[in-house]
Amino acid sequence: MDIIPAIDLIGGKSVRLSQGDYDQQIDMPMSVTEALAYYSQFPQVRRIHVVDLIGAAEQMAMETSTISEIKAVSQLPLELGGGLRDQATLETYDKLGIDYFILGSRAIMDVPWLREMVALYPNRIFVGIDCKDEDIYINGWKENSGRQIDEYVAEIEDLPIAGIIYTDIYKDGMKQGPNVERTGKLQEITHHDVIASGGVRSRHDLDALEAVGIGQAIVGKAAQDPAFWKGL
């Protein structure tokens, strides 16, 4: 199981939200640079998941300078999401050396645009699908897109993307475990790699995900707890 630690940014600081609620923000114990150094020691970590939280809500990149600093010191590839709504923004981050892009809200609502971006950056784009039950949410998880997960996944099945990051919003930041059943069912209906996100707490959760065919998991709060890494 590949573990992808998450660094969520607000104002240059590493924070976490609960269920995507910006009013439930807590600062993480480690700074961004401390977290990068800590995660880099574990062989299970293949890349780092970075999200510009205000960018996601405001629909534009807000943390470019911080992300540039992160890329300069990171020993691992970075996947970046939050506020990536146009080609110019992707080009900016591409020049900074960002390895992978996570496209969410616009990719959900504008599949022709997603196709154009994938043609420019094949196998470097993850599509972020953030759900409450079957409904996909957008714009920092604040709005129901009106799209259902199964029909959307079928629409992008032919694209050369890096994978699908699936987040159960109800589970995110709640320390209650991931939605193993739904994540596994999603993997069954697509040939794309599905990356689990939201609620992963322990080796037990990773084993449960692996049992339903998931090989990668994004880990947020738990990743800064040394107990999480013991026995992996």
CATH number at residue 108: 3.20.20.70
Helices in 111-148 by DSSP H: which ranges?
111-120
Model pLDDT, residue 28: 85
Profile the chain (232 residues) by mean pLDDT over runs of 10 residues: 94 77 77 94 96 83 90 95 94 96 96 98 97 91 93 98 94 78 96 94 95 96 92 80
Helices in the chain by DSSP H: which ranges?
32-39, 53-58, 64-73, 87-95, 105-109, 111-120, 149-155, 180-188, 203-211, 226-229
Quote the domain boundaries for residue 185. Answer: 2-229
Q: Is 52 a catalytic residue?
A: no
How many independent structural domains does the chain possess?
1
Cβ burial 131-140 (10 Å sphere, 16+ → b, else e) = beeeebbbbb
pTM beyond 0.75, yes or no: yes
Q: Is 133 a catalytic residue?
A: no
Model pLDDT, residue 135: 95
Query: For the packed helices 87-95 and 111-120, what is the interaxial angle rounded to 10 degrees?
Result: 30
Residue of 130, 168, 172, 205 marked active site? 130
